Structure 1
Amino acid sequence: MNSKALFSSKSMVWETPKDYFDKLNKKFKFDLDACASDTNHKVDTYFTEDDDALKQKWGGNVFMNPPYGRHIGEFIKKAYEEHLRDPNRFIVMLIPSRTDTKYWHEYIQDK
């Protein structure tokens, strides 16, 4: 198996398949797509790269499929901070399971 391919990509943008998103949305009823584009957003309220989700306040239940590059930890930290700001909502992230990373231990494990 070529594990190098699992950790690299020429693109940081991954569109979530509609059928997969629809199953999540049925359960969580998302209000915001925090990491989207004008062509791949899944709900009417969304942030693009130009909007910079890291600088915005997030409202309601949030779906996030962040860029999988070296800044992914910043998006996970932001999701954690937004959860602390309003713990009575859902923030669902599609992220790689990298349990050896700093962000995993600081913002996901046991949180």
Structure 2
Amino acid sequence: MTQTDINGDPLIIQENVEWYTPKHLLDAVYATIGTPDLDPCCNTIGSPNVAARNYYCLADNGLAHNWNAENIFLNPPYGEELPEWIDKMIYHFRNRDVTNAILLIPAKTETTYWHKLADYAPAWCAVKGRISFISPTTGNTKQTGRFPSAVVLLTRKQDIFSKFCENFESLGIIYTRWE
């Protein structure tokens, strides 16, 4: 029996850790930071899903490279290596190798990786409902994740912060850090 979400759409339950970002979320990313300079987790099946200037695919092992880029979009594999991807992003942001980053990650606020990331994030969006990700094998956009998602912003720039809040407010609740 296939598990479904509240709308009757099938939940993704295969072992694949790649979850391709749907167009409406990418449109909000592009409206916020423009074309990303780097997608360190480019999809391995088909043409690149993210319109980025540079990519690292599975064969390139994005974790093994430096991420010196002004703007990064990161939708990391949601497997056991997820905390490594988050740690690498934090490292490069903290060291100012990355100016702006938008991450699409599971909203698991109880995890260590979430709390590490929250120290650097001036804003994040609690995505309303479950995201219908694009299946890497079928291209179907009606496969819903079995967990809530968040879009997290890393920036030190007020204009990027403002654009993020404006572009993601229709996708869910925006949480900002009070300073």
TM-score (norm 2): 0.54
Gaps of 5+ in 1: none
Gaps of 5+ in 2: 5-10, 121-179
Aligned residues: 109
- Structure with greater helix share of residues: 1
Residues 29-108 of structure 1 mapped to structure 2, 5 A cutoff: 29=34, 30-37=36-43, 39-42=47-50, 43-58=52-67, 59-86=69-96, 89-105=99-115, 107-108=116-117
1:58-93 Cα shifts (integer Å, max 9, x gaps): 122000000001110000000000101216611111
In structure 2, how many angstroms separate the alpha carbons of the residues matched to 1:57 and 1:87?
9
Kept in 2: contact 1:98–1:104 (CA 8 A): yes
CA root-mean-square deviation: 2.6
Structure 2 residue matching 1:37: 3-state secondary structure: coil
- Structure with greater strand share of residues: 2
| Identical pairs, percent | 31
Shift of 1:54: 1.0
Q: Deviation above 3 Å: which 4+ runs of structure 1?
A: none
Shift of 1:28: 0.8
In structure 2, how many angstroms separate the alpha carbons of the residues matched to 1:88 and 1:37?
21
Relative to structure 1, is the Cα distance of residues 108 and 9 closer, same or farther in structure 2, using a 3 angstrom cutoff? farther
Kept in 1: contact 2:41–2:57 (CA 8 A): yes
In structure 2, how many angstroms separate the alpha carbons of the residues matched to 1:86 and 1:9?
37
